[in-house]
Amino acid sequence: MGQPAPVMFDRKFDGPNVIPGLGSTYDRHVWLYKKNPSGLFARYKPKVKCPAGAPPHP
């Protein structure tokens, strides 16, 4: 098993995500300029939709 996810502001980072050529990465979403009803650190915003034909998120 790998290292534990990093923590910032008492919140664990999302991941690990494996990116070819880079390896395992972690990320933390923060909604600073637009309000997200799901919360400041929510990964997704419910009303935001991807355009038709956009590749799916892994």
Domain ranges for the chain, please list them: 1-43
The 3-state DSSP class for residue 12 equals strand
- Pick the residue with more confidence: 19 or 56? 19
User: Model-level pTM greater than 0.75?
Assistant: no
Element (H, E) at 49: none
pLDDT at 19: 87
pLDDT at 17: 87
C-alpha 42/C-alpha 45 separation (Å) is 7
State pLDDT tens for residues 2-55: 678 899 889 899 888 888 998 888 999 888 998 999 999 888 888 877 778 777
The 3-state DSSP class for residue 24 equals strand
Whether the Cβ atoms of residue 41 and residue 30 lie closer than 8 Å to each other: yes
C-alpha 46/C-alpha 40 separation (Å) is 13
Of the pLDDT bands very low, low, confident and very high (cuts 50, 70, 90), residue 1 is low
